[in-house]
Each structure stands twice: as structure tokens, then as C-alpha cells.
Chain A
């Protein structure tokens, strides 16, 4: 199986694909509703926000940083765009552009602080996250916005087809945005100079600066990109739930990070691929949905997230140790 998948995915990704296939088989046997077309479409849509954010977090992780302020950034930009749209009647595209640009700007603040203070980015972004959130709650008093304009809340369906059982499966705006983000991020990271420089920076920052990579510029791009995607994710999230609640995104940080790490991105940087992250999302989505259909309590789901991460990290650690042992032996033989 691994050999079969080898041309598409690297080692850890193909193990993840195998796990997903096994999980799918188990759920398909035990629940008749699992993986029906309409169920799958709903599932994909409900994970669109997570995937968009995970794409941005993936880029930051590859560069060797961690940014957990994206949920705060998404909340702030969402609220400001909603204010602009409801109070001042700003139309659709300028409002979305405002959210994204604001997000990118806040990301750049993270990049500048990380670069000039020379502090690990997780600490910088814990601080900025706290500040962004607190400012939002302070100025809004925690108030919610329900009267979003129609262009924001109307469901956009690109394709609709009837399934054999008479349900409808729809290709909707969040799915399309998600797919676009995944494709663009993949191309950025694997095909452009900037993407390869981000991998190089995460692999060896000292060497990156020695070969002449402009670190600040690259970090502005990395954190700015995540901020941009957070702005986009905030828009999509409000589109799905038809309202803006300042605390709605609160607490999504860990599950987004989990997805990226599950997908093979490393906390020390330089590793992982967009394909892997998509597989990570897929595994979590399938687990959640399957357990849900089997009637397992949603509270138990966080236990499953934790276990999935622990197992994936241990598998990587064990295979690496085995690889090292094997290499040691062969070196001894060759001497």
C-alpha cells in the first residue's frame, strides 16, 4: 500500500493515507449514513474554515515559527468588516478585501515583532493574540452582529445534484474558497522561489541568512499570508453561521494546529506539505463525523484529537529511531 502511494505522498503522508482508509472502512461498515454523498458534502463544508486557517498555519510552521493569533485576527477582521458592511453599507468585495488586508497587516505586526525582538514567535503571538482579542471585546463590549447584509449570508451554490436517496449534495462557496486556498498554498510552497525559501528558512535559519535569503521580507510574507487567510476564514465563518460573534472563533487554535501537525508539519520547521495537511483535516473530519454517527458524545471527540496527535507523533519518532539504528549498523559494516 505504501509503495502504491509513494509517487503521490512521502512516507509520513502515505501512512496517514493508510490510516484514513482503514478508518473509512470501519465507519462504512458500522454506519449506513457514513460517506453518503450529501453527508460528505456537509462534512467538507463544515471543515472549510479549519482548512483555510490550517493552510496559513502550515506556511508559518514550515518557516520554523508558530502563530496562534489567527483566531483573534479572524475575529477582529470579521467584526470590522461586518461593521463596515452593516453601518456604512460597504459592498461585498471592498468589505472582503478590507478583512483580508487588515488580517495581513496584523500578521505583519507579528512578523515585525518576531524579527526585531528576536523572540520565539509563539510567545509574540500569544501576546498579540491576547491584545487583539481584548481590544475587540473592549471596544465592542462583546456585542454581536446579526443583521448582516444578504450578500454575506445568502448561500451561494455552484452545483447541486440529487443523490440516489433523494438528498441534495451541493458545491458551495466555502468549499470553493477552501479548494482555491489549498491549491494556491500548494503552488506557493512547492513551486515558487518564496515557498522554497520558506522551507530553507525553516530547515536552517543561519544558513538561510548566509546564502542571502532576506529573512524579514520572507517573514512578512509568511505571517502576512496567515493573517490574510484568517481574514478570509473570518468572512467564510460568518457566511456559514449568518452572524458575527466576537468569541465564535475562540478556542479553534489548538484544533487547527493539530490538523497541521497531524499532516506532517513539524514544530521545528522545514517539513510538511499542503497535501499532508489536507489529509490531516480529512482524518479529523472523518473521525468526528463517524463517531457522531455512531452516537459517541461530542465531548469525547477532544480525547480522540489528542490521541490522534500522540499516535502520529510517536509513529514518526519510532520510525526515525529505527532508521537511525539501521544506518548505524550499516556504517559499522562498511568501515
Chain B
């Protein structure tokens, strides 16, 4: 860890504390909101996406907008940024002027900038060109004014007290640095309201801390900031208010200090969800998988652990800790440079993932949308892809009814919500897509199932469903590894937890013998 980090975290904590005390001692001065929505509704055909939403964001405020998938978050953002036109009867008031709708161009002119989750940067262009791209949108055959553009980029970075090499190519920067470029571009376009969509979802803990430092800076510059997110633990510390959307309506707007994880979950889902602490004391069974001194140069080293039948083992570690690299090596996608893998008491040489699949190992990747599914194909196509040779008849051909039968079975067993097994996977919700990936691997009858961040991008209700499947499989005797960086996910759903950091397993925890808080402190230390 670079030496500056502790100082940065301490700095942010102090900022938050200073803020809190100020709020407690003096009442908030009555500022006019920068953005005010009144009675905003939006229908798409027969479905109501938004219904009578009132909402406001003040200058200098950090405001969190939360809600499950389909709650209307993105529709609301698109109305504010001028992409969608709200239904008649609502008003959008910006800086005191009322509009019944905006266009994207008009919204930008009024100072509304959205930083999308994909950041919408140009990976092939330099930092300065990305930041000042607006200055290149004029008459096509005018000369580019490099000096002015570079000066703009430099000035914006200086305002944020941030440093980036101006001539670096954006595609070669880290995710956090790219995010900084996107923020700078918003500022260079004279943003007054900055809407950030899922800004922390692909950042490491330290990067989140640094982002919060920058957000604090933006706040002190008088910008209004909206965070749209599923995962808000870190952001709550800095936010003034939280607005929860549920089924297109505003469930509540609350001061951020009055809400915790459970209260939010309740507001988002409309029902109370409690974690069930799994009983410890799994009887000692034979180990199905053993790793002895496993290592890959530059990725991880000295990894040794055993996994037992029916056990759910959590591996917790931040992004870059080597957790995904370890999983890829166990699945035969990469080769170990050191150490051995034993399966069922025999050493196993993994030359490719075919070897791993043959010895009963299945792996569900981190990025299901990119790597785990063919979104345009049907549920049956996706679910049967791993077992085509077993489904084949004596001519080596796969009869379609065998595939749909297999798919139908898994749709039933995993409770996948779909009209039929011929439906394209892209028509399903995130949680159901995740289940199709599971089905695809469960169809191979694995003895060992490795799940890499299995609930990324899945909302709270569906998370519970996936945890249920994990526990059911474990009961049936499947050994399961859950790789994650979400403390509650690992703490409440595994029998044993290994903490991975800087490519090494540093400590083992038993959920019954430690607290969620202690684990969080160890991981984020």
C-alpha cells in the first residue's frame, strides 16, 4: 500500500466529522434547490415507470438515489438529463426557471452532466483531449486549439487538486483515474449538477476513499452531486440525503445519517429481509479439493487450503488481491507456476479448463454478461452448452428436445422466471440471468463450484434467492467457493472465510467466532 493512503483515509474521515459537527451545531441555511422535480410521471406504453415523483437537489449537496433494478432510477435520471420527456402535468425547475421537459442539449447547457457507469470516455485519446472534448465540437474544418484545450484540462485538474499526466492515453489508465477524467470532463463543461451512475461499483476500497475526497472538493465548490447506486456503504458517510425509489414511486427522502443498511433494504424492497447466520460446526468430511503452495508469478503466492464436501468456503479480498486470478488457475484457465492442486486425494495437472470440468470443477465468472452468457441465445442454448457431449445421441447430434428438457428442469429447480426455455437470455432480469449461468454449470454435476462475485449487479431480493441455491447445493454435498468483496455476503453465507490480500491468504475466520465489523476492519485496513 502506498504510504499516502492512511493519510488520505484519515483526511476524509475528518472531513466527514467536521461536516457532521457543523450540521449539528447550526441549522442548515435555507438554500434554494438547484434542481426541483414536481409531480414527475412517465409511462412507456402500458407500464408506469415513474408516478408522481417530487424530488430536489441543493447546490453543495451530495444526494444518494437508490432503488432496486426497475424502480425507476434510470428513467428519472434520463428525464433530468433530457433523454426522456416526462408525461404532462409535471414540472422541472432548474435554478428557478420551470420547464415541462428538457432536451439533452438544453440539459447540458443548464449545467446537468451525467457520468454513466461506462464513463463514456474515448480510450484512444489523451487525457487533455477527453477532458476538453467539448471544444472540438465546433465547425468541422476549424483547427483544433490544443493550447487552450490543454490549459482547460490543467485548470480543471488543479481545481480538484488532482494530478494526471495530460498526455497519457486514457485506455491505459486505471478505472479510478478514468473516472477522474470523466469528472473533469463534466467540470470542463461547466457542470452545476453532476449525476454519477454506480460510481463505486468497479473501484477498490482505496479508490473509493480517494473518490470521496474529490467529491468533497466538488461539494465545497458548490456543485450538486447525485450518486445513483445499489451499494452505498461508503458513500453514505459523505451524503446529506438519500432518496429511495420503489416501483416508480418515491418511497422516502431521508437524512443520510438516519438510515442504515437494514432500513434501506426495507425501504427498497418494501419488506424486511434478515440474514440468517449459518450454524457453524460442519462435521469433518474428506477434502475434495486441496491447494498446496499454489502460486503464479506476479499474481498470487503460497496459497494453501483444503475444501470439504458440502462446505461453503468464502474467499474475501479486494479487487487486485489475486482472488480472481486464483479462481482462474483452479479452473485451468491459467497455469500455476508453483505448487499443486489435489482433487479427491490425487494430484491434478490442469492443462486447460477441459481438465477442470472433467474432474468436476465448475466456475461462474465475475462478469456474467461478458463471459458467462451468450445474451442473444435462448435459455436452452446457454444452459446446455457445457454438456453437449453428454446430450448427444449415438450419431453425435444433439436432439433439440433433450436440450429443452434439460433447460426446463433447471428453470424449475432454480426458479428462473421466464416465459419459456426458448426465450433469449437478454430478455431476463439480472437475477434470472445469473441463475441461467448457474444452471449451465450445475448441469455438469460439479463436485466443486467456484462462484466469483456471484451477486454483482443483482438486487437485494434476487441475492437472497441465489444464496438459497448455494445453501441447497451445499446440503446436497457440493463443495462451494464464494469469492467476494462484500462483507455481509461472505459473513452470512459461508462456513469458513479465507482473507486474501496482495496475492496471499493472510488469515482464516469462522463466522461464528468473529463479528461482521471485525472482518470488515481486517479487509479494509
Using a CB–CB distance below 8 Å, which chain A residues touch chain B?
191-197, 199-200, 202-204, 206-208, 210-213, 217-218, 221, 270-271, 323, 325, 327-329, 331-332, 334-335
B140 interface hit (Cβ, 8 Å): yes
Those 6 A-B pairs whose CB atoms lie nearest each other, nearest first: A207-B120, A194-B140, A270-B124, A203-B124, A329-B298, A203-B122
- CB <8 Å contact, A335 and B122: no
A203 near B123: Cβ-Cβ < 8 Å: yes
Residues of B contacting A192 in the complex (Cβ-Cβ under 8 angstroms): 140-144
- Check: B299 CB closer than 8 A to any chain A CB: yes
| Chain B residue with Cβ nearest A266 | B124
CA distance A33 to B20 in the complex (A): 83
Could you list 15 A-B pairs, sorted by A, with CB under 8 Å? A192-B143, A196-B125, A196-B136, A197-B136, A200-B122, A200-B136, A207-B122, A208-B122, A210-B116, A212-B104, A212-B137, A323-B172, A328-B299, A335-B318, A335-B320
Structural contact, B140 and A204, CB atoms closer than 8 A: no
B321 at the interface (CB under 8 A from A): yes
Complex formed: what's the CA distance from A195 to B139 in Å? 11
CB of A261 to closest CB in B, whole Å = 16
Check B144–A191 contact: CB distance below 8 A: yes
When the two chains form their complex, are residues A270 and B120 in contact, meaning their CB atoms are under 8 A apart? no
Question: B332 contacts the other chain (Cβ, under 8 Å)?
Answer: no
Q: A203-B122, A206-B118, A270-B124 are in contact. List 4 more A-B contacts (CB 8 A).
A: A192-B144, A197-B140, A212-B104, A325-B298
A218 contact set on B, CB distance < 8 A:
140
Chain B residue numbers with a CB within 8 Å of A210 are 116, 120
Question: Chain B's nearest CB lies how many Å from the CB of A135?
Answer: 32
Which of B105, B139, B140, B299 has the most A CB atoms < 10 Å from its CB? B140
B170 to chain A, nearest CB (A): 9
Q: Output the nearest chain B residue to A62 by Cβ-Cβ distance.
A: B124
What is the minimal beta-carbon distance from B133 to any residue of chain A, in angstroms? 6
B residues 114-158 near A (Cβ < 8 Å) are 116, 118, 120-125, 129, 133-134, 136-144
Docked Cα-Cα span, A211 to B136, in Å, equals 10
- Name the one of A204, A323, A332 contacting B120, with C-beta atoms under 8 angstroms: A204
Answer whether residue B46 sits at the interface, using C-beta atoms and an 8 A cutoff.
Answer: no
Closest to A327 in B: B172
**Smallest CB-CB separation from A192: which chain B residue?**
B141
Contacting residues, chain A, for B140 (C-beta < 8 A):
192-194, 197, 217-218, 221
Give the nearest-CB partner of B300 in chain A: A332
Select one of B123, B144, B318, B322 contacting A196, CB under 8 A. B144
Mask: chain B, 26-69; 1 = CB below 8 Å from A; 0 = not: 00000000000000000000000000000000000000000000
A332 B143 Cβ-Cβ under 8 A: no
List CB contacts (< 8 Å) of B66-108 with chain A: 104-105, 108
Q: Is the CB of B298 within 8 A of A332?
A: yes
Contact yes or no, B322 A199, CB < 8 A: no
Q: Is the CB of A199 within 8 A of B125?
A: yes
User: How far is the CB of A199 from the nearest CB of chain B, in Å?
Assistant: 6
Minimum CB–CB distance from B466 to chain A (whole Å) comes to 28
B2–A334 touching, CB < 8 Å: yes
CB–CB A194/B123 < 8 A: no
Contact A335 B502 (CB under 8 A): yes
Interface residues on B, range: 35 or more
**Cα of A191 to Cα of B320 in the assembled complex, Å:** 39
Closest CB in chain A relative to B17 CB, distance in Å: 27
A211 near B120 with CB under 8 A, answer yes
Q: Which residues of A contact B397 (CB under 8 A)?
A: none
A332–B299 touching, CB < 8 Å: yes
Q: Which residues of B contact A208 (CB under 8 A)?
A: 122
Contacts of A203 in B (CB 8 A): 122-125
Residues in A neighbouring B144, C-beta threshold 8 A: 191-193, 195-196
Chain A CB within 10 Å — which of B1, B144, B318 has the most? B144
Contact across chains for B2 and A193 when beta carbons are under 8 A apart = no
| Chain B hits for A194, CB < 8 A | 140-141
Provide the residues of chain B in CB contact with A271, threshold 8 Å: 124
Question: How would residues 488 to 525 of chain B score, 1 for a CB under 8 Å from any chain A CB and 0 otherwise?
Answer: 00000000000001110000000000000000000000
- A192 to chain B minimum Cβ distance, whole angstroms, is 5
Answer whether A199 and B320 are a contact pair too, CB < 8 Å, given A192-B144, A211-B134: no
A196 touches B129 (CB 8 A): yes
CB pair A332–B124 under 8 Å, yes or no, is no
B137 touches A213 (CB 8 A): yes
* CB pair B138 A193 closer than 8 Å: yes
Please determine whether B122 and A332 come into contact, CB atoms closer than 8 angstroms: no
Residue from A191, A218, A271 whose CB has the most chain B CB atoms within 10 Å: A191
Chain A residues positioned under 8 Å from B124 (CB to CB): 199, 202-203, 270-271
Residues from chain A with Cβ under 8 Å of B116 in the complex: 210
* Complex contact B137–A211 (CB within 8 A): yes
User: Which residue of chain A lies nearest to B81 when distances are taken between CB atoms in the complex?
Assistant: A210
B120 touches A331 (CB 8 A): no
Min CB distance A247 to B, Å, is 36
Complex interface: chain B residues within 8 A of A202 (CB): 124
Q: Closest CB-CB distance, B237 to chain A, in whole Å?
A: 22
CB of A206 within 8 A of CB of B320, answer no
Residue among A195, A200, A327, A328 making CB contact with B133, cutoff 8 Å: A200
Smallest Cβ-Cβ distance to A211: which chain B residue: B133
Chain A, residue nearest B206 (CB): A335
- The answer for the CA separation of A218 and B108 in the assembled complex, in Å, is 22
Across-interface contacts of A212 in B (CB, < 8 A): 104-105, 108, 134, 137
**A195: B residues at CB distance < 8 A:** 144
- Residues from chain A with a CB closer than 8 A to the CB of B120 are 204, 206-207, 210-211
Hey, which chain A residues are within 8 Å of B134, CB to CB?
A: 211-212
Cβ contacts under 8 Å, B1 to chain A = 334-335
User: By the criterion CB–CB under 8 Å, are A332 and B137 in contact?
Assistant: no
- Evaluate contact between B320 and A332: CB separation under 8 angstroms: yes
* Cross-chain contact A193 with B125 (CB below 8 angstroms): no
Across the interface, name the chain B residue whose C-beta is closest to A271. B124
Residues of the B chain whose Cβ atoms lie less than 8 Å from the Cβ of A204: 120-123
Q: Decide: A193 near B320, CB < 8 A? Known: A204-B123, A329-B298.
A: no
Q: Which residues from B are CB-within-8-Å of A329?
A: 298
Contact present for A335 and B129 (CB under 8 Å): no
Query: What is the minimal beta-carbon distance from B171 to any residue of chain A, in angstroms?
Result: 8
Question: Which residues of B have CB within 8 Å of A332?
Answer: 298-299, 320, 322, 502-503
Shortest distance between the CB of B325 and any CB in chain A (Å): 8
Instruction: Please indicate the chain B residues that have their CB under 8 angstroms from the CB of A193 in the complex.
Output: 136-144
> By CB atoms of chain A within 10 A, which of B133, B138, B322 has the most?
B133
Known: A328-B298, A335-B502. A199 touches B122 (CB 8 A): yes
Alpha-carbon separation in the docked complex, A221 to B172 (Å):
30
Chain B residue at minimum C-beta to C-beta distance from A195: B144
Q: Mark B166-181, 1 if CB is under 8 A from A, else 0.
A: 0000001010000000
Q: How far is the CA of A325 from the CA of B296 in the complex (A)?
A: 12
| Chain A residues in 8 Å Cβ range of B129 | 196
Docked complex Cα distance between A170 and B171 (Å): 45
The answer to whether B320 and A331 have CB atoms under 8 Å apart is yes
